[in-house]
Amino acid sequence: MANTFGILAAVALLIGAFVAHKNKGFLEDTIADTQSEESKKATLTNKFNSLTSDITALDTESKQFSTFRDETQEKLDEQVAGNKKTQDSIDSKKGAADSAQAKADAADETLKELGDVVTLVPRMKALRAAVSDLEDEISINSAQVDRLTGTESVTSDIAKNLAKKLGDRVSGSSYFESTSVRSIFRQWGFVTLAGGDNIGVVKKSKLSVLRDGEEIAQLIVTGVEANTSAANIIPSSVKGDVTVSPGDKVVPLTEEGGEAK
């Protein structure tokens, strides 16, 4: 009987040691998983903060360009008003010059006989010189107006482009022109792309994979770094038995399902 109890006690100790060993392994695995999740959380938090900072910077830059555009438009309006005033002055002086010329032509012979032409000719020359100076001034002003008009147009285009990029980021749409598949991991169903935040790849946006101008599959972006990004292949979007390969062209997918323009 004593031997039986001894054997049972030994078996109980062995079972207890085995359970303790299993619990220790489970605890270590749980700690490792927790640390991994904490690391992922920190990485995602950093990316979120970076994206928030980028959006704030783009918003500030957009406001600065809007202010500069408004200031440029104000200067342009002032220049156009000044140009009109100068043109009115030129027209007035030209009218006076034409009137004086007509009077001079009509009374030319009489003035010669009276000798007044000696004083009239210098006055006519001075008037024509003033008209010439005003014509030069209006030419310079016109060139300045053209320059300001061109600056305003460029500024407006930049502001529109920044506004579009900001809108795309906020709405979760990628805004790059095109990139390509860098590598593919078929067993896990995802690819890496030859471009990231540097060209405008936005996380959670949908992309289209093209080959010979035709869509062969669609992707959804899962991670974005400075110069690369990762995206999952959407299984239901793969056309037939075609497989995505490195080098395939990738473009943003519009809401209508086509290539973004």
Residue from 28, 137, 39, 47 nearest 86 by CA? 137
Question: Which tokens in the block code for residue 242?
Answer: 């075609």
Per-residue pLDDT tens for 134-188?
677 777 766 766 676 665 555 556 656 665 556 555 667 899 999 999 999 999 9
The last residue of one of the domains, among 138, 171, 204, is 171
Residue 114 and residue 32 in one domain: yes
Last residue of a domain, one of 117, 147, 171: 171
Q: How would you classify the pairing of strands 214-224 and 206-211?
A: antiparallel
DSSP 235: G
Whether residue 25 sits in one domain with residue 5 = yes
Are residues 138 and 83 in contact, defined by beta-carbon separation less than 8 angstroms?
Answer: yes
Give the structural domain span for 234. Answer: 179-252
Same domain, 236 and 147: no
Question: What's the whole-model pTM score?
Answer: 0.39
The pLDDT profile of the chain, 261 residues, written as one tens digit per residue, is 667 767 777 777 777 677 667 777 777 888 888 888 888 888 878 877 877 777 787 778 778 867 878 888 888 788 888 878 878 877 877 777 677 677 767 656 655 554 555 565 676 667 677 767 767 777 776 676 667 666 555 555 665 666 555 655 566 789 999 999 999 999 999 999 999 999 999 999 999 999 999 999 999 999 999 999 999 999 999 998 899 999 999 999 875 455 554
Q: What is the dihedral of CA 161, 163, 167, 168, to 10 degrees?
A: 20
C-beta of residue 199 within 8 angstroms of C-beta of residue 189: no
* DSSP strands (E only) in the chain: 179-185, 190-193, 206-211, 214-224, 229-233, 249-252
**DSSP summary character for residue 183:** E
Same domain for 164 and 206, yes or no, is no
* 260: in domain: no
Residues 22 and 62 in one domain: yes
**Is residue 230 assigned to a domain?**
yes
Indicate if 100 and 32 belong to the same structural domain: yes
